[in-house]
Amino acid sequence: MKIIEGIHSIFDGYLYDEHGLNCFLVPKYVASQAFRRINPDLYYFYLYTHLHYFFLSEKPYEHFMSNNRYQRDTIEEYVLSDKLGLKLEAVRIDNNLIEQVQQALVKDAIVFVPTNKRAIFYCEEYQRRDHPHLFLVKGFDEERNLAIIQDGEQNAALFNSPPSPTLRMSIGDTTSQFYLRNDMLESAFDAYNETYGYHKEHILIMSYSHAPSVHSAADAIKELSQLMSAYVGREQEILEPKLKYLIEEVDQFRIPYINTHMIFFRALARLIVQVPELQNRRTELDILARECQIAWKIIATKIGILHKRNRFEPEKLNESFSNVIVLEKKVINLVLDFGKMLRFEEMKMN
């Protein structure tokens, strides 16, 4: 029997009450704590920073961009490797899923297996159609032919139909450990491969690679301050790709993407409360976050309306986008102030 220690339930509503990119990200968020306790906060902070502010669109990172948007997997790999010192490797499976999973776990790596929930969970909703899902496999029991999973979907699937992430929050069990027969894991993996192309016939393996470059919440906030300082007076440059993305995106994904902006703000807030010098600035950040959220949703709603007309008129968005830029300038100034405070405290200590 083998189990990776240090992977526990993380009860935190902001992961689940915002829609969007979470389906294949939450397992990695949860798994990263096995290597360092602060990793989950840093993982979401950096990932959503770069998904909403386009700091990495210039050299040497311009390859991160394609069609006015970042390549999410490329950004994720950058965050895990450059900031957290972790490696995420895709491994092809050729009728040897359980063998590959167990080999990785024996080496103290963590495994992610893409699955189709229709093959595992028997609530009515999951039987009606296919549902992709990424399982975090943190161990195995060889004698009993079981995989040890850390997930929360079983709670939603067992207790209500259609399943709702809200239930996981209300019972305080966003992710928990459970056992799954190896043959069921294989069936769910096969069902995924029959239906989906993303990571088809591959598993993902997370392992330690090298010493992380970011060591604390204060380090992360200071780095964000430095990134934003380069764009003072150029705020439109880091926001225009987001506007273009919203214009080009289909209706059903536009608002979910905007919603994930709140994850950036909440991740930043989680870092702030870890830094004594900044703890009293939390309310200020929360107010700005809500204002930005509303302003971006107004733009997303207008885009949806404009797309329904015979002719799309982008100039109709100018006033709303100007309002967003004003608010985002306030965000940048606030973060710059955070950085100044931390550097001042460093000078006092030295």
- Count of domains forming the chain: 2
Q: Region 291-298: what's the mean pLDDT?
A: 95
pLDDT given for residue 174 in this prediction: 60
Tell me whether residue 61 is in a domain: no
Tell me whether residue 42 is in a domain: no
Sequence-distant (≥ 6) Cβ neighbours of residue 138 within 8 angstroms: 3, 4, 7, 31, 34, 105, 110, 111, 148, 149, 150, 177
Name the residue with higher pLDDT: 186 or 151.
Answer: 186
Choosing from 179, 208, 237, the residue where a domain stops is 208
Q: Region 312-329: what's the mean pLDDT?
A: 95
Residues 115 and 163 placed together within one structural domain of the fold: yes
pLDDT higher than 70, residue 72: yes
Distance CA 346, CA 162 (A): 52
Residues 170 and 253 placed together within one structural domain of the fold: no
Task: Indicate if the alpha-carbon torsion angle 49, 289, 33, 191 is positive or negative.
Answer: negative
pLDDT, one tens digit per residue, over 218-258 is: 999 999 999 999 999 999 999 999 999 899 887 877 888 88
pLDDT given for residue 161 in this prediction: 52
Q: pLDDT band for 16, please (50, 70, 90 cuts).
A: very low
Choosing from 176, 208, 240, the residue where a domain stops is 208
Residues 116 and 176 placed together within one structural domain of the fold: yes
pLDDT given for residue 22 in this prediction: 65
Residues 263 and 161 placed together within one structural domain of the fold: no
Percent of the chain with pLDDT over 70: 88
Percent of the chain with pLDDT over 90: 66
Tell me whether residue 133 is in a domain: yes
pLDDT given for residue 348 in this prediction: 77
Distance CA 342, CA 350 (A): 13
Choosing from 183, 208, 233, the residue where a domain stops is 208
Name the residue with higher pLDDT: 151 or 348.
Answer: 151
Residues 140 and 18 placed together within one structural domain of the fold: yes
Domain of 159 in residue numbering reads as 2-36+84-208
